[in-house]
């Protein structure tokens, strides 16, 4: 198989994979009992450890994804728009790439102007600890570190209905 | 639900495990027009389940796995022996209908072809194949295949949607029926999709 044909085949598959029953999922599912998020430390794209606990006091949108996953790719721009809109709020988007190397993730982020926090879970261990079964899966962690919502499949994260729901989680200024 | 011993499944795994080390790079000449004129997707919309099952071209499946780090032989094996289809599934209940949770237990699904019944190849089956493969498969490639396969036990809340590949595990060109099993709030449903076929590959 030639390189050119390989690329063509790969692009065709991504197109096929993108032909979905429905473009996106809807809504957020409350997580029963709002369990405390597991203590998580993952490397960022430069290899520096990122501790979730250091960001207590913010609402975290924690998204598990991979660059080859079509619905993951589709929702990424909306996550960036949300981060931009809420740049002055105690809110943070964290995308955890599952299984890929830093160069692959960095190249994708650079090509799509994604500036939110990107972490890597090379072995999938953290993803499995968080109960992720398929990609993409997203969790919303409140300012106290509790997992309050879950979303399976892609979303338009700057959809007004979703933003209204998430805004309720933001801590109010003292 | 009864467990059905699967001769076809056993034959598939045996062929893969025995044949892989001595198999040269299988040629893949499946043209894009190979399946022209025959629908590639089947739909099931029943109760709160919305499901699309799409046949993926073998050469595209091979390219996808090559790009994830599989060797050419392993990528070709997945494409030629896996009969890979894509599943798009959604819980179509309105988001406020929180009582309706839906699950798709893939281990209960059944493939019917040539008078035989078999199960899908799961993530665990692929893991067994890679454990026995020589030369070994790169961990990153194994990880990618794991996550690209449709999860065998995922709970869909109203509005949830997800996708993934399903490994039917039949030879190229084989026609089959697929019995889909799903549960909505512990009530089991099943329906059979007919007229499905694995992607063809020219020798």
Residue B142 near residue B134, CB atoms below 8 Å: no
Residue A155 near residue A138, CB atoms below 8 Å: yes
Average pLDDT in the A158-166 region?
96
Residue A63 near residue A28, CB atoms below 8 Å: no
Average pLDDT in the B80-91 region?
94
Partners of residue B96 in chain A, C-beta under 8 Å: 27
Residue B34 near residue B199, CB atoms below 8 Å: yes
What's the pLDDT score for residue A36? 95
Nearest to A21 among B32, B88, B96 (CB): B88
Question: pLDDT (tens digit, 9 = 90+) per residue, A87-114?
Answer: 999 999 999 999 999 999 999 999 999 9
Average pLDDT in the B107-133 region?
96
Nearest to B56 among A16, A66, A98 (CB): A16
Residue B82 near residue B141, CB atoms below 8 Å: no
Contact B164 A26 (CB under 8 A): no
State percent of chain B over pLDDT 70.
78
What's the pLDDT score for residue B190? 97
What rounded mean pLDDT belongs to chain B?
83
Partners of residue B153 in chain A, C-beta under 8 Å: 133
**Testing the interface with A: which of B122, B141, B161 to mutate, by most A Cβ within 10 A?**
B161
pLDDT bin (cut points 50, 70, 90) of residue A167 is: very high
Nearest one of B87, B82, B79, B26 to B57, comparing CA atoms: B79
Partners of residue B164 in chain A, C-beta under 8 Å: 134
Contact A9 B88 (CB under 8 A): no
Task: Quote the minimal CA–CA distance from A102 to chain B in Å.
Answer: 12
Q: Rounded to an integer, what distance in angstroms lies between the CA atom of residue B144 and that of residue B150?
A: 12
**Res A56 pLDDT > 70:** yes
Nearest one of A34, A22, A102, A99 to A68, comparing CA atoms: A99
Contact B57 A69 (CB under 8 A): no
What's the pLDDT score for residue B38? 72
Contact A26 B28 (CB under 8 A): no
Partners of residue A19 in chain B, C-beta under 8 Å: 41, 54, 88
Question: pLDDT (tens digit, 9 = 90+) per residue, A57-75?
Answer: 999 999 999 999 999 999 9
Nearest to B156 among A7, A9, A152 (CB): A152
Write out the two tokens for B168.
């039917």
Residue A60 near residue A83, CB atoms below 8 Å: no
Task: Quote the minimal CA–CA distance from B113 to chain A in Å.
Answer: 25
pLDDT bin (cut points 50, 70, 90) of residue B1 is: very low
What's the pLDDT score for residue A43? 98
Nearest to B161 among A25, A68, A133 (CB): A25
What's the pLDDT score for residue A65? 98
Average pLDDT in the A10-35 region?
68
Give the residue on B whose Cα is nearest the Cα of A125.
Answer: B143
What's the pLDDT score for residue A143? 97
Average pLDDT in the B43-58 region?
95
Q: Cβ atoms within 10 A of the Cβ of B3, count?
A: 8
Give the residue on A whose Cα is nearest the Cα of B66.
Answer: A6
Nearest to B60 among A13, A26, A151 (CB): A13
What's the pLDDT score for residue A2? 55
pLDDT bin (cut points 50, 70, 90) of residue A27 is: confident
Question: pLDDT (tens digit, 9 = 90+) per residue, B123-177?
Answer: 999 999 999 998 899 999 999 999 999 999 889 999 899 999 999 999 999 999 9
Q: Is the pTM of this model over 0.95?
A: no
Residue B13 near residue B129, CB atoms below 8 Å: yes
Q: Rounded to an integer, what distance in angstroms lies between the CA atom of residue B120 and that of residue B155?
A: 19
What rounded mean pLDDT belongs to chain A?
89
Among the listed ranges A85-89, B53-57, B94-98, B162-166, which one has the minimum average pLDDT value?
B94-98
Give the residue on A whose Cα is nearest the Cα of B52.
Answer: A21
């Amino acid at each position: 198989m030639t390189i050119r044909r390989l690329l063509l085949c790969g692009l065709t598959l991504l197109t096929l994979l993108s032909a979905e029953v429905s473009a996106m999922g809807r809504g957020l599912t409350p997580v029963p009992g709002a369990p405390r998020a597991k203590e998580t430390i993952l490397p960022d794209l430069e290899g520096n450890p990122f501790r979730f606990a250091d960001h207590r006091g913010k609402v975290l949108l924690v998204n598990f994804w991979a660059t080859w996953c079509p619905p993951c790719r589709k929702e990424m721009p909306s996550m960036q728009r949300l981060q931009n809109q809420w740049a002055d709020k105690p809110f943070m988007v964290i995308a955890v790439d599952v299984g890929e190397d830093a160069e692959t993730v960095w190249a994708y982020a650079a090509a799509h102007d994604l500036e939110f926090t990107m972490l890597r879970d090379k072995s999938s261990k953290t993803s499995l600890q968080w109960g992720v079964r398929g990609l993409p899966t997203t969790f919303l962690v409140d300012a106290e570190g509790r997992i309050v919502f879950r979303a399976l499949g892609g979303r338009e994260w700057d959809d007004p209905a979703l933003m209204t729901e998430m805004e309720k989680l933001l801590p109010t200024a003292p | 639900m009864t467990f059905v011993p699967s001769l076809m499944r056993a034959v598939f795994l045996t062929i893969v495990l025995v044949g892989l080390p001595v198999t040269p790079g299988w040629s893949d000449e499946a043209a894009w027009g190979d399946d022209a004129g025959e629908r590639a997707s089947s739909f099931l919309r029943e109760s709160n389940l919305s499901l699309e099952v799409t046949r993926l071209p073998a050469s595209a499946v091979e390219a996808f796995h090559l790009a994830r780090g599989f060797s050419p032989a392993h990528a070709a094996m997945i494409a030629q022996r896996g009969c890979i289809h894509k599943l798009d599934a959604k819980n179509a209940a309105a988001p406020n209908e929180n009582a309706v949770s839906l699950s798709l237990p893939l281990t209960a699904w059944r493939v019917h072809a040539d008078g035989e019944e078999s199960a899908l190849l799961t993530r665990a089956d692929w893991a067994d194949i890679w454990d026995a493969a020589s030369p070994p498969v790169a961990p990153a490639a194994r990880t990618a295949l794991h996550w690209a396969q449709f999860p065998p036990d995922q709970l869909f809340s109203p509005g949830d949607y997800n996708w993934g590949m399903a490994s039917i595990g039949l030879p190229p060109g084989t026609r089959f029926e697929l019995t889909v099993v799903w549960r909505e709030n512990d009530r089991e449903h099943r329906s059979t999709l007919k007229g499905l076929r694995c992607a063809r590959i020219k020798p």
